[in-house]
Amino acid sequence: MTRAEIVAMIERHRQAFASRDAKLLADGHAPNGTFESQAAGVVRGRAAIQGVYEYWLKAFPDLGFTWREPIIDGDRIALFWHFTGTLAGGDFFGPAQLGAHVEFLGAGEYQLSPEGIVHARHVFDFTGALVSAGVLKVKPAQ
């Protein structure tokens, strides 16, 4: 893939997030692609990947990402991002606080092909996200 094709694919991915359309997001992945994160584990195939996107979009209908410029190395890219969202559901990996504002930094490593995203791996402060959502309680420092 050329750099221009990669940049165009990344832009379509950003636009799909902005549209809040889980199917459009999943369609950006290769048919047998994989998606990996602390929250989802490893899932394979567009249907399973769409399920991950649906879960997050349902939990955070106002979810937003701010991306930094990608680092592109051949067919691999790294994206660093800032996530924000307001929890709309009462269940987010466990009983959560409705209306909680959740915000965290993260990074994504992607391997691309003309078919789409072959592999995506997201790394972020999942524990911090669960604390912000009220799912996990922390003991105050003494």
What's the pLDDT tens digit per position in 81-136? 999 999 997 678 888 888 999 999 999 999 999 999 999 999 999 999 999 998 98
The answer to whether position 138 is within a domain reads no
Domain that holds residue 48: 3-132
Say how far apart CA 42 and CA 38 lie, in whole Å.
9
Tens of pLDDT, residues 5-17: 999 999 999 999 8
Examine residue 32 and state whether it is found in any structural domain, yes or no. yes
Domain count, the chain: 1
123 inside domain: yes
For residue 89, give the DSSP letter.
Answer: S
**The tokens of 74 are what?**
């051949």
